Amino acid sequence: MSGTLVLVRHGQSEWNKRNLFTGWKDPDLTELGVSEAKAAGQRLKAAGHRFDIGFTSLLVRAQRTMTLMLAEIGQSDLPVTENIALNERAYGDLAGLDKDEAKKNWGEEQVHQWRRSYDVPPPNGESLKDTGARVWPYYYHTIQPHVLRGETVIVSAHGNTLRAMVMALEGMTPEEILGYEIATGVPIVYRINPDSTIGDKTVLKA
Ligand SMILES: O=C(O)[C@@H](CO)OP(=O)(O)O
């Protein structure tokens, strides 16, 4: 029996709106972020998903997105595990800086490398590879066993932790992940076969 894995990036945060590097900082959702989370829940409900377990990070934007989605689905009592492994990539010295200011200071190409490359870490922060080094074991040891048992699993996390997960799930190369973006509040639904291959993928856009 195949299992289902749903990945959702949190709704817009205060710092997404202000264009600031966020990482492990802990801003809340904006009003738009709250609506995005509710809309994601409504789309999951309309697609008929009922969850067996949820996973999220220690950061309020991902936790609140999970709570808002589950309320829409009518599953506010779902067991949800919170783990630091799903926290956003640590942005080091960039956390709290304006993304456009950073481009002016260090140049567009350098900032793009820090934000989207596989293995170039921002100063004192994590590269995507470093982030993957904590996300992948957590996925394979803790999340995937539920999916392979045929359960339906929801993960509410962050742009770069989800990029790391998608990279592993889809077998993307470092070049392919460079151009891959994950939108806020748009569920990505994978049906996963018992041998861990992907059956199909659906993106629940508005
Ligand atoms: O600031 C951050 O933590 C992330 C996600 O918003 O930014 P980006 O991946 O776009 O560099």
- C-alpha 87 – ligand 1 centre gap (Å): 12
ipTM value for the complex? 0.96
How many domains are contained in the chain? 1
Does the active-site annotation cover 72? no
pTM above 0.80, yes or no: yes
Gap between the Cα atoms of 97 and 92, Å rounded: 10
* Candidates 36, 72, 88, 126; catalytic one: 88
- Tell me: is residue 108 an annotated ligand-binding position: no
Q: Cα(177)–Cα(191) distance, rounded to whole angstroms?
A: 21
Percent of the chain with pLDDT over 70: 100
Tell me phi and psi for residue 16, to 5 degrees. -60, -45
Q: For position 62, what pLDDT does the model report? A: 99
Could you tell me the pLDDT band of residue 173, with boundaries at 50, 70 and 90? very high
Which residue type does 139 have?
Answer: Y
Query: What amino acid occupies position 28?
Result: D
Known binder of ligand: residue 92? no
User: Could you tell me the CATH number of the domain that includes residue 135?
Assistant: 3.40.50.1240
- Residue span of the structural domain in which 12 resides: 3-203
- Ligand 1 within 6 A of CB of 9: no
Protein residue whose Cα sits closest to atom 8 of ligand 1: 115
pLDDT of 22? 98
Examine the residue annotation and report whether 108 is marked as an active-site residue of this protein: no
DSSP state of 201: E
Place of tokens 């067996």: 52
Please tell me the distance from the alpha carbon of residue 179 to that of residue 161, in angstroms, as a whole number: 15
